[in-house]
Amino acid sequence: MSVVIDDDVTGFVWSVPDVAVVARLIAVVLLGQAQHAARIIAALEPAAPAFLHPVLIADAKRQMVIRGDDDDARQANRAHRDGFLFECMSWIAARQDAVDRTFFKDPHIDATSHGLDGLIVELHAIDPVIRRATICEDKCTSRPRRLFREQVMTTFAEHHSNKRARDLVANAAAIIRETGLNGTEAVAAAAAVLEASVRSYRAALTTSVLTQPRRARLFRGYDGLDGITQAQRIGAMFEIDGDLRDWFQVLADEVRASLDELEVELDVDGV
């Protein structure tokens, strides 16, 4: 749902009407089958994996379990897990809003992975030409303002000055190869991500329920990315009315329940 932030930022609020549906899609991603999950979203197919294997299910289940020898370690592990879940939610939301010839960087499968959170590339209807490249930063946090100011804007500013150009071009080229271009052609097409005119930024944050003035304060400083329009600065919020970690524990439990169901199917059908 689109919402008003201010004259510098385009705003969206995300919601999850059915946690079980989102959890099943995340379970498919956890099995290493993000491309199949993309097809499920696009075609509105039943959320069933392309195939099952006990090793994949066991690994996916382990990623939903909180580990650590002390409270600090367990809290850090929980934050990594919840960050992975939110990155998947961000990817699902982007997939649902996609137009034709839109291609995506898959979510990290390892919850502790670093690097580019997300990249969305929209190509010309026929030609291998980038019309829009959106750099995504997703933060699952109880301190959204602090992380936006200290981490998201730092990352975006580095991209805006092309200090992360090699990583961006490499990721864009890998995505564009999905169109069938060979490596050289894909790299040549990916060069367009270095142009500010085709680039957008999307900051996605977990928040409490916010009024318009509080949204504006949350994204204050976004105009530091100069030379671009309001439409190129996107602020997405997943509003939680309650405790952040409790909500994501419910989601993790639902993902685990989906994996349990798939394990039962595997036992019934055989490997």
Task: Write b or e for each residue in 50-59: b if 16 or more Cβ atoms lie within 10 A of its Cβ, otherwise e.
Answer: eebeeebbee
Q: Give the orientation angle of helix 34-43 with respect to helix 71-96, to 10 degrees.
A: 40
| pLDDT, average across residues 235-262 | 97
In degrees, to the nearest 5, what angle opens at C-alpha 160 toward C-alphas 157 and 165? 110
Alpha-carbon torsion (169, 178, 93, 8), positive or negative? positive
Residue 244 has pLDDT above 70, yes or no: yes
| pLDDT, average across residues 237-262 | 97
Determine if the pTM surpasses 0.85: yes
What's the chain's length in residues?
A: 271
| pLDDT, average across residues 200-212 | 97
Q: Give the pLDDT of residue 89.
A: 96
Q: Are 26 and 85 in contact (CB under 8 A)?
A: yes
Q: Give the pLDDT of residue 112.
A: 53
Residue 166 has pLDDT above 70, yes or no: yes
| pLDDT, average across residues 214-241 | 98
Q: Give the pLDDT of residue 266.
A: 83
- The CA distance from 121 to 198, in Å, is 10
Structure tokens at 237: 């919020």
Task: Give the pLDDT confidence of 125-154 residue by residue, as tens digits.
Answer: 988 899 999 999 999 999 999 999 999 999
> Which of 112-121, 225-234, 237-246 has the least mean pLDDT?
112-121
Task: Give the pLDDT confidence of 39-75 residue by residue, as tens digits.
Answer: 999 888 888 999 999 999 999 999 999 999 999 999 9
pLDDT band at 269 (very low <50, low <70, confident <90, very high): low
